[in-house]
């Protein structure tokens, strides 16, 4: 029982990384995703990895899975038939949403439809006030009538969201009892159990999303466990959550909403490890997959967390690593819009049919096709995935679909695709840096994903970052992050109170109570029998404002003045100013509990004893084909410095070093790209 | 690879005579009596070095003037240069003096790299940061590739073929460490040079002898390198001085100098004459030691230096055997199950008297403190600017280093072994 295997299901590929906890040996594998049943690719991949490496299934101690099932259920609107029961008079909260306009200048803009159709949103009489007192008791007969309607509508799950239930959940709990009796077998989700925060729209929306994805996720996990069992593999996989921690399949099956947007979290966890290993405090992690570009910020050695997010325009308030995603990746399609401008993405060729050069029926030129046309990718290589790519087909697609219509050469059009997709990625990086008070020049860009290292050098230049770090296994970096994740649960609760008038001891007691709840869910035991650590956060705002800022509260006695100072510092960094004299208000108390687990070591980098330079090929750079040395990544000894231009190939990705850059291999085996100093 | 060094401790009469010539051999003003086993960080200073530095350094004039004091300054400098050449076994030619080996590394590599396009510099994981970083920085600056030969984890040394595999027609320079200041692994310099010459005759081969210089004879001309660099303070002289001998072709490469100076003159500005006189005192000492240990005593200074260095190797080999394998009932370093030695386990072949080890479950900083409390001065190498790349290649983050010199005694080795035994004893 020495192997841990992380499986990251992406839109195009399913990545697998295995680590031997005894000797630190690392294995990796990649299979095409099977969107119709992601478990199929997972099991196939694990079986192939085991067969290839001679790993007995019984030697696998742990499977950690990053799943996109819940995410895809929302994005594709293929979740359960869900009903939503709410307080009389508030039926349209999910439909009206917030008053802000998602597209400011679009007079015809429409809000996204909630995942629950309006005919399945039902009202019952009840009312609990903001202080928790009951103004109107729950109308059981009305609920009984609703239950009859829902039975007839054959709903698969029911979400219950009452006003102010985060203060007093009595009516939601009573409703669940009645629903359990009236709709046996139908999953019921209560809003206060998903999040215990003020703001009925966000709470209701998150609750509805959980109900919507939960049956699908539960079904997937049950099926997956069966498939694993049949294959003789561990049948209790751990599931990655959006907060960068992992949980059991049982908890993920209940609180499925916490896995929404979890896909990129593994990359951030791996980025944190890389930052620690290399002594870097500020890192921007950027994952360029087949369909999406996910960017996140690690500042001062800590990732950015968020408690408010959205998916497909719908509010999603669960604690998560703050990741910004845009539809830009290797599979992004180059196209010409109505105005005649060249565009790239967000639509993607995905896993099927994939880029034209994959020869799987794709006809639209993609970013990968463009990289192939430009010589950045090899048409045939023992490295770079060992997959033969159809250069002629890629050239033809770029020519017919773009170059001829734009009156450009094929290489120019292909370079255009790269420039446009790079611009979209750059904008995403700026959104998380410049727009949040971070100077990109103070950060290193950690670029990964199968398509990332082809773009990292240009992205860093365009955003003003000094260096690019390409991890040892960029193609499976997110999956590696799964191996590093820890068991983690969070509990938040709205607690409106002026900071200045807060009793520090009472605040500490609040934290303790929330931590105990999270610890129970974590399996640490209410008495803390299993060793765990507690991180404390507060969401604060100036009194009268709407938006909050989160600050960490260190362990030990709480210093309210220090908390205020942290808030002011964060405000100043983000907005450029603060109001030292204005009163601050606590909005949310937030406890994060992480189970102590033996750390997974970073595997040592051991280069192969063979010459690194394996050839040369023309690469389109700065407007012409330039003879460019090609290196074998895994033959590069730490300390090696390679002058650009250069191509560095490895089985899971290809790295481009621009002419005025050099790439150095650090002691951990990471490639570090920097611009050449001027002489 | 040369034959293993013979093992022979200095005679009971010679050992105290050797120690008597060094400052602070038995103790220092701060800790009192102690065993100084951190010689890789810097050797003890000869009393004669201190005296020569004071005498010549105090002379009231610069060289090149027409007065007796100036003539003495000039003579001391010339004698110092000649003694450097004698010590290195270098032909008459360019002797470079600089403030440190690091400064030499940057200057020599810069000269080799300047004007190259698309070439490469080859160094190794065993290199000291002075050469390793200089190669990386200059490669990046000049658009060259830095290739890094892997060290051999089993021996803690550098395999000549690993270096040769990286050189080609575009190699501008190869840096080779003669002995590691971390593992003690000794490079077969002649073998490296021969293999490199066969594949890349144009490559400048630059040897870093900072660690080796105090442990064995240097034959710069015989081993076929273009430059041999060492730090004076590592071989019993004063800090702030490093010397190198340069081949004619390397000396002729463009380098920083005043316009009116001869092309082969690499020194910049006025050098401290005391530093040259101090090094002559080192060579004088070695000649004395050679005369004590060789029979019959060679007549020339190079012959005496060679005899001294052979005697030093033999003495240190005997001390190394004691340290690794123990003696008189004291278990050696290798006998402790919790101790891992990083590098060659043989006390003679392919290594010098520098040993890197770790103790399972014990932070190195703490170990060094505990040895210090027991009167044994050691040092730990951690993943810092100097050692990070080599330690990473060895697969560790920190090691304790124990390093011997010829003035060390069996009793001092026993003090180390006794302290180790006590520290590892079950509580």
Confidence check: pLDDT of B325 > 70 = yes
Residues 6+ apart with CB under 8 A from A198: A166, A494, A496, A587
- Which tens digits make up the pLDDT trace of B210-261? 999 999 999 999 999 999 999 999 999 999 999 999 999 999 998 988 888 8
Model ipTM?
0.74
- What does the pLDDT read at residue A614? 92
Phi, psi of A555 (to 5 degrees): -65, 160
In angstroms, what separates the C-alpha of A603 from chain B's closest C-alpha?
10
How much helix, strand and coil, in percent to the nearest 5, is found in chain A?
Answer: 35, 30, 35
Could you tell me the fold of the domain covering B14-46+301-424?
Answer: 3.90.1150
Q: Which residues of A touch B136 (CB under 8 A)?
A: 639, 641, 664
The pLDDT value recorded for residue A532 is: 86
Mean local confidence (pLDDT), A67-89: 91
Please report residues of A whose CB lies closer than 8 A to that of B145.
640-643
CA A674 and chain centroid, separation: 27
Cα–Cα distance, B359 to B401 (Å, whole number): 12
pLDDT at B1: 44
Q: pLDDT (tens digit, 9 = 90+) per residue, B245-258?
A: 999 999 999 898 88
Burial label for A111, CB within 10 Å (0-12, 13-18, 19+), is middle
Task: Say how far apart CA A487 and CA A465 lie, in whole Å.
Answer: 33
| From A642, A674, A679, residue closest to B142, measured CB to CB | A679
Smallest Cα distance from A459 to chain B, Å: 20
Chain A, nearest residue to B164 by Cα: A611
Task: Tell me what pLDDT residue B25 has.
Answer: 95
What value does the mean pLDDT of chain A take? Answer: 91
Closest CA to A614 of A600, A632, A626: A632
DSSP state letters, A352-370: TT--GGGTSS--S-BHHHH
Q: Please say if the pLDDT value at position A385 is more than 60.
A: no
- pLDDT of A210 reads 96
> A3-74+218-259 adopts what CATH topology?
Nucleotidyltransferase; domain 5 (3.30.420)
Residues of chain B contacting residue A676, judged by C-beta atoms under 8 Å apart: 140-141, 143
**Minimum-distance CB partner of A637 among B135, B149, B383:** B149
Largest CA distance in chain A: 83
Does the beta-carbon distance from A667 to B148 stay under 8 Å? Answer: no
Handedness of CA A340, A346, A347, A349 (dihedral sign): positive
Helices and strands (DSSP H and E) totals, chain B? 14, 17
d(CA A238, CA A523): 14
**Min Cα–Cα distance to chain A from B166, Å:** 7
Q: Which residues in chain A are contacts of B140 at CB distance < 8 A?
A: 641, 643, 662, 664, 674, 676-677
Residue A370: is its pLDDT beyond 60? Answer: yes
Supply the pLDDT for residue A1: 61
pLDDT attached to residue A528 = 54
What separation in angstroms does the CA of B371 have from each of A438, B328, B343?
Answer: 47, 20, 22
A79-217: which CATH architecture? 3-Layer(aba) Sandwich (3.40)
B382 CB-contact burial (10 Å; exposed 0-12 / middle 13-18 / buried 19+): middle
**How many CB atoms are closer than 10 A to CB A423?**
15
A615-624 mean pLDDT: 94
In angstroms, how far is the first alpha carbon of chain A from the final one? 55
CA distance B242 to chain A (A): 25
Tell me the pLDDT band of A600, cut-offs 50, 70 and 90.
Answer: confident
Over 60: is that where the pLDDT of A598 sits?
yes
Residue whose entry in the numeric block shows the structure tokens 């040259």: B276
At residue B5, the pLDDT reads 59
- Residue B118 confidence (pLDDT) above 60: yes
**What is the residue-averaged pLDDT of chain B?**
93
The two three-digit tokens of residue A251, written as one number: 């908890």
pLDDT in tens, A523-545: 765 555 668 889 999 999 999 99
**A639–B389 C-beta distance less than 8 A:** yes
CB B191 within 8 Å of CB B160: yes
The domains of chain B are located at 14-46+301-424, 51-282
CA–CA gap between residue A264 and residue A244 (Å, rounded) = 9
Does the distance separating the beta carbons of B141 and A612 come in below 8 Å?
no
Torsion A95-A100-A104-A107 (CA) sign: positive
Q: Dump pLDDT digits (tens) for B43-79.
A: 999 999 999 999 999 998 888 899 999 999 999 999 9
Out of A233-237, A612-616, B103-107, B359-363, the most confident range is: B103-107
pLDDT for the residue A384: 45
**The pLDDT of residue A584 is above 50:** yes
Position B303 scores a pLDDT of 97
* Between A109 and B154, residue with greater pLDDT: B154
- Given the candidates 3.40.640.10, 3.10.580.10, 3.40.50.300, 3.40.50.720, the CATH classification of the domain at B51-282 is 3.40.640.10
Q: Using alpha carbons only, what angle is made at residue B283 by residues B280 and B289, rounded to the nearest 5 degrees?
A: 145
Contact B410, B369 (CB under 8 A): no
pLDDT given at position A382: 56
Calculate mean pLDDT across residues A647-657.
Answer: 93
Numbered residues of chain B with Cβ closer than 8 Å to any chain A Cβ = 118, 123, 125, 132, 135-136, 139-150, 162, 165-166, 383, 388-389, 392-393, 395
pLDDT (0 to 100) of residue B307 = 97
- Round to the nearest angstrom and report the end-to-end CA distance of chain B: 45
Q: Is the pLDDT of residue A33 over 90?
A: no
* Test mutation, B110, B143, B169, B395, chain A, max A CBs within 10 A: B143
Asked if A652 and A474 touch (Cβ cutoff 8 Å), the reply is yes
A134 closest CA partner among A110, A159, A167, A104: A167
Residue B123 has its nearest CB partner, among A607, A639, A676, at: A639
Could you tell me if A276 lies within 8 Å of chain B, comparing CB atoms? no
- What are the boundaries of each domain within chain A? 3-74+218-259, 79-217, 488-595, 619-675
β-partners of residue A19 are A4, A26
What distance in Å separates the CA atoms of residue B14 and residue B49, rounded to the nearest whole number? 20
Q: Report the candidate in A87, A256, A253 with the shortest Cα–Cα distance to residue A172.
A: A87
- Residue A383 pLDDT > 50: no
Provide the number of CB pairs (under 8 Å) joining chain A to chain B: 64
The correct CATH number of A488-595 out of 3.30.70, 3.30.1490, 1.20.144, 1.10.40 is: 3.30.1490
Q: Which candidate in A611, A631, A637 is best for mutational testing of the B interface (most B CBs within 10 A)?
A: A637
- With CA atoms as reference, the chain A residue closest to B139 would be A641
| 3-class secondary structure, A88 | coil
Q: What is the mean pLDDT of residues A449-463?
A: 94
List b or e across B251-264, with b for residues whose CB sees 16 or more CB atoms inside 10 angstroms.
bebebeeeeeeeeb
pLDDT in tens, A173-198: 999 999 999 999 999 999 999 999 88
Interface of A with B in 595-654 (CB under 8 A): 604, 607, 609, 611-612, 637-643
Inform me whether the pLDDT recorded for B4 exceeds 60: no
pLDDT tens-digit map of A292-336: 899 999 999 989 888 888 888 899 998 889 988 888 889 999 999
Asked whether the beta carbons of residue B143 and residue A642 sit closer than 8 angstroms, the reply is: no
pLDDT in tens, B361-404: 899 999 999 999 999 999 998 877 888 889 988 988 899 999 99
Q: Please name which of B367, B382, B350 lies closest in space to residue B416, comparing C-alpha atoms.
A: B367
Which residues does A507 contact at the CB level (< 8 Å), separation at least 6?
A558, A586, A589
pLDDT of residue B179: 96
């Amino acid at each position: 029982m020495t192997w841990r295997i992380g499986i990251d299901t992406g839109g195009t590929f399913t990545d697998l990384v295995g680590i031997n906890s005894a000797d630190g040996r690392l294995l990796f594998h990649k299979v095409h995703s099977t969107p119709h049943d992601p478990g199929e690719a997972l099991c196939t991949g694990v079986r192939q990895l085991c067969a290839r490496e001679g790993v007995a299934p019984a030697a696998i101690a742990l499977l950690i899975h990053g799943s996109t099932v819940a995410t895809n259920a929302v994005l594709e609107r293929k979740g359960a038939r869900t009903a939503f029961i709410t307080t009389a008079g508030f039926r349209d909260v999910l439909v009206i949403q917030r008053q802000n306009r998602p597209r400011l200048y679009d007079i015809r803009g429409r809000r996204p439809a909630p995942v629950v159709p309006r005919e399945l949103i039902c009202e019952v009489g009840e009312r609990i006030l903001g202080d928790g007192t009951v103004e109107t008791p729950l109308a059981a007969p009305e609920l009984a009538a609703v239950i009859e309607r829902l039975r007839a509508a054959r709903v698969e799950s029911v979400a219950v969201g009452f006003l102010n239930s985060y203060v007093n959940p009595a009516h939601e709990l009573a409703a669940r009892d009645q629903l359990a009796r009236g709709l046996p077998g139908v999953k019921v989700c209560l809003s206060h159990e998903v999040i215990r925060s003020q703001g009925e729209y966000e709470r209701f929306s998150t609750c509805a999303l959980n109900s919507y994805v939960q049956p699908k996720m539960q079904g997937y996990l049950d099926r997956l466990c069966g498939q694993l069992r049949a294959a003789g593999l561990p049948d209790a996989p751990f599931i990655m959550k959006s907060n960068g921690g992992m949980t059991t399949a049982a908890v993920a099956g209940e609180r499925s909403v916490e896995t929404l947007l979890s896909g990129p979290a593994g990359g951030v966890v791996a980025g944190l490890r890389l930052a620690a290993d290399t002594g870097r405090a500020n890192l921007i992690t950027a994952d360029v997959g087949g369909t999406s570009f996910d960017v996140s910020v690690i500042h001062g050695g800590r990732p950015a967390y968020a408690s408010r997010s959205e998916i497909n325009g719908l509010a999603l308030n669960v604690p998560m690593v703050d990741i910004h995603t845009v539809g830009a990746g290797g599979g992004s399609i180059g196209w010409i819009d109505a105005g005649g401008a060249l565009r790239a993405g967000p639509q993607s060729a995905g896993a099927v049919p994939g880029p034209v050069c994959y020869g799987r029926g794709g006809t639209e030129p993609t970013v990968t096709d463009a990289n192939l046309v430009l010589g950045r990718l090899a048409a045939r290589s023992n490295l770079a995935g060992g997959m033969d790519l159809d250069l002629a087909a890629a050239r033809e697609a770029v020519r017919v679909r773009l170059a001829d219509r734009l009156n450009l050469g094929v290489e120019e059009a292909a370079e255009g695709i790269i420039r446009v997709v790079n611009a979209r990625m750059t904008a995403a990086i700026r959104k998380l840096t410049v727009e949040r008070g971070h100077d990109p020049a103070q950060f290193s860009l950690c670029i990964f994903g199968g398509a990332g290292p082809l773009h990292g050098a240009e992205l860093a230049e365009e955003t003003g970052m000094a260096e690019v770090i390409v991890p040892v296994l960029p193609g499976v970096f997110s999956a590696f992050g799964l191996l590093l994740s820890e068991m983690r649960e969070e509990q938040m609760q709205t607690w409106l109170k002026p900071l200045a008038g807060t009793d520090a001891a009472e605040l500490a007691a609040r934290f303790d109570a929330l931590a105990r709840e999270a610890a129970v869910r974590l399996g640490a035991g209410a008495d803390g029998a299993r060793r765990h650590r507690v991180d404390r956060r507060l969401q604060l705002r100036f009194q009268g404002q709407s938006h909050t800022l989160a600050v960490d509260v260190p362990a030990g006695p709480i210093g309210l003045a220090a908390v205020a100072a942290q808030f002011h510092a964060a405000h100043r960094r983000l907005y450029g100013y603060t109001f030292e004299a204005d009163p601050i208000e606590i909005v949310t108390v937030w406890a994060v509990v992480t189970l102590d687990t033996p750390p997974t070591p970073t595997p040592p980098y051991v280069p192969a004893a063979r010459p690194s330079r394996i050839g040369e090929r023309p690469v389109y750079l700065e407007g012409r084909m330039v003879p460019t040395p090609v290196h074998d990544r895994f033959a590069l000894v730490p300390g090696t410095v390679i002058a650009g231009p250069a191509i560095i190939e490895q089985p899971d990705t290809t790295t481009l070093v621009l002419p005025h850059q050099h790439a150095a291999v650090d002691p951990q085996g990471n490639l570090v790209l920097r611009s050449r100093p001027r002489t | 690879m040369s034959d293993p060094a013979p093992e022979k401790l200095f005679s009971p009469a010679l050992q105290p005579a050797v120690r008597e010539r060094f400052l602070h051999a038995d103790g220092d003003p701060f800790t009192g009596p102690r065993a100084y086993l951190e010689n890789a960080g810097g050797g003890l200073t000869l009393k004669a070095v201190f005296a020569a530095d004071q005498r010549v350094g105090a002379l009231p004039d610069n060289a090149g003037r027409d007065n007796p004091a100036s003539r003495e300054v000039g003579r001391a400098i010339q004698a110092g240069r000649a003694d450097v050449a004698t010590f290195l076994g270098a032909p008459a030619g360019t002797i470079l003096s600089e403030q440190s080996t690091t400064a030499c590394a940057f200057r020599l590599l810069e000269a080799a790299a300047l004007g190259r396009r698309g070439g490469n510099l080859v160094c190794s994981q065993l290199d000291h940061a002075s050469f390793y970083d200089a190669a990386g920085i200059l490669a990046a600056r000049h658009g060259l590739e830095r290739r890094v030969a892997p060290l051999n984890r089993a021996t803690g040394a550098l395999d000549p073929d690993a270096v040769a595999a990286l050189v080609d027609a575009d190699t501008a320079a190869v840096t080779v460490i003669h002995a590691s200041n971390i593992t003690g692994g000794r490079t077969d310099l002649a073998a490296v040079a021969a293999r490199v010459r066969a594949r890349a005759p144009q490559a400048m081969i630059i040897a870093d002898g900072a660690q080796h210089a105090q442990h064995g004879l240097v034959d710069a001309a015989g081993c076929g390198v273009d430059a041999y660099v060492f730090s004076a303070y590592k071989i019993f002289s004063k800090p702030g001085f490093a010397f190198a001998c340069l081949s004619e072709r390397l000396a002729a490469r463009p380098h920083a100098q005043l316009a009116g100076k001869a092309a082969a003159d690499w020194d910049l500005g006025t050098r401290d004459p005391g530093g040259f006189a101090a090094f002559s005192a080192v060579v004088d000492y070695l000649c004395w030691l050679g005369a004590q240990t060789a029979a019959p005593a060679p007549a020339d200074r190079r012959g005496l230096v060679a005899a001294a260095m052979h005697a030093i190797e033999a003495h240190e080999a005997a001390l190394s055997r004691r340290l690794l394998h123990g003696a008189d009932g004291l278990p050696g370093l290798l006998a402790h199950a919790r101790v891992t030695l990083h590098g060659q386990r043989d006390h003679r072949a392919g290594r010098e008297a520098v040993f890197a080890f770790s103790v399972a479950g014990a932070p190195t900083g703490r170990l060094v403190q505990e040895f210090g409390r027991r009167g044994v001065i050691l040092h730990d190498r951690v993943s810092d600017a100097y050692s990070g790349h080599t330690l990473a290649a060895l697969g560790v983050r920190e090691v304790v280093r124990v390093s011997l010199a010829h003035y060390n005694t069996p009793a001092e080795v026993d003090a180390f072994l006794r302290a180790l035994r006590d520290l590892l004893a079950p509580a």
